[in-house]
Amino acid sequence: MKKIIKIFFVYHDRCSGQKEYSIRLIHNNLSSFIGLSFSIAHLMRFIAKYKTETLWILRKVIH
């Protein structure tokens, strides 16, 4: 049985104007993420496809 993990980003805009993203992992369907912008949704599909390797790369990029 294939284990599916979806990843989504939570966007925070601080008072200082700093943009911040946090990553959350859930076991769910992408159709749950209606409120997200297309670019983030597209990125989520990419991550869902490549999983751990992509998450490691994104950690390097985001932090």
Structural domains in the chain (count): 1
- Residue 57, pLDDT score: 59
* pLDDT per position as a tens digit, 1-13: 455 555 555 555 5
Query: Angle 57-62-63 (CA atoms, 0-180°, nearest 5)?
Result: 100
Query: Which domain, by its residues, includes 17?
Result: 6-53
Helices (H), the chain: 38-50, 52-62
Please name the residues in contact with 59: beta carbons below 8 A apart, sequence gap of 6 or more. Answer: 23
- Residue 33, pLDDT score: 41
Say if 14 falls within a structural domain: yes
- Residue 30, pLDDT score: 44
Mean pLDDT of the chain: 55
Question: 61, 21, 57, 20: which is closest to 8 by C-alpha?
Answer: 21
* pLDDT per position as a tens digit, 17-39: 555 555 554 444 443 443 334 45
Does position 50 have pLDDT exceeding 60, yes or no?
yes
Say if 29 falls within a structural domain: yes
